[in-house]
Every structure is written in structure tokens, then in C-alpha cells.
Amino acid sequence: MLLEKPRKDLVKYGKKLVEHNLTKGTGGNLSFYDDSEGLMALTPSGIPYFDMKPDDIVIMNLDGEVVEGDKKPSSEEAMHRFIYKERDDIKALVHAHSIYSTSLSLLRESLPPAHYMIALAGYDVRCAEYATYGTEELANNAVKAMEGRNAVLLANHGLLAGAGDLPNAFNIAEEIEFVAEVYWRAKAIGEPVILPEDEMTLMEEKFKSYGQVKN
């Protein structure tokens, strides 16, 4: 079995997506890219996370060819492939349909630096231009809006977060959802004070050694 450990990790973190209220049903998807093998492990389409098994994970190359597995890959396989092609620093991606991040994406608004934890993703989290799910247009829009960032809002859709490994990609998704929630709640009663650029530059530097999930 190719990429046996990543398969097990994807099953584990797929369950955590539901347990941590980052998605519902079969929504969202996760992947891991092994650059030494040139292969991507990706969750399949339409299988509930608590029913998913390691051999359900689909192994693909970055040209979109299925190398191992008899399940249909996630409809967002192009988005995962395109990110890995463009970003040498990202080896794992978590796509969630989390409530507050998705709510902001419906407004087509970026998430500003209202809380310092956003520094895990960068200065802010941009909202990509809308495109139909599962299309190469959406994949290209995500790549563009995620440039220089570790997360992106997908317009009228959800959140995508990436990192050098799956634990940190999941952590970024969870923390960005937290920032989106507190920003949304603050907006409901007033106008949030946004952290200045120099403070966020400091936070990004501090987060190079702090706030990382250790494997």
C-alpha cells in the first residue's frame, strides 16, 4: 500500500474535522503530498469520515492520474494538485466548510488581522474569486488568493488551509475559524479594531518559532 502512514493520518484528521465542528456530513476534504514520491494522498468523494478507511484514500500524481485506489477522488482534487505544484512549503491541505469562515466567504470579504492568531496564515486571509466547486477555475483562484499565505477563503464555499504537515494544516484551519468567529461576533456589536501592519509583521516573525504543532 502506497503512503500507508499518510492514509491513516487523513482518516484520523477527517474524523477530527467533524468532531471539531469544522464541517458537516461528507463536506470538505484533506490531502498530503509526498514530494519524494511525487504522489498525493487524497480523501475520496462522498464517503462519511467515520466510515472512511485507509484503503479508501486515493493516491494520485500531480498530473491528476490515479496511481492507487478504486474510489473516486474528492471533487476538489485539482485544487489540491495546483497548490502543491505552486507551493514547495505546503505538503498538507485541509479544506473545511466551517461556519464562520464560510459566512465571511458569502460576503466575499477577506478576514483581516483582528486577532494575532491569524499570523499562522499570514497578515490576513484573502477571499478568492468565486468559481464552481471542483473546477480548475476554482483551483487557480485559490492558488492566486493564497499566494504568500497559508489559508484562503473560497467565495460562497469554505476555507482552505495548508502547511508542511497535516497537524499544522489542521491547526491553521481551526485557528482561522476561531478568528473568523470572534471577528463575526465583534462585528455584530460594533466595529473591530484591526491590528496594525507593524504588529502583524512582528507576529509573523514570532510565529516562526511559536504556535507550531510538533509531530
Question: Alpha-carbon torsion 34, 3, 173, 139, what sign?
Answer: positive
- The backbone torsions φ and ψ at residue 26, rounded to the nearest 5 degrees and listed phi first, read -105, 15
Q: Where are the beta strands (DSSP E) in 35-90?
A: 39-42, 58-61, 66-68
Say what the alpha-carbon torsion angle 23, 25, 28, 32 is, to the nearest 10 degrees. Answer: 100
**How many other β-carbons are positioned within 10 Å of the β-carbon of residue 12?**
16
Residues designated as active site: 76
- What is the rounded CA–CA span in Å between residue 13 and residue 30? 8
> How long a stretch of residues is the chain?
215
Of 52, 60, 90, the C-alpha closest to 76 is 60
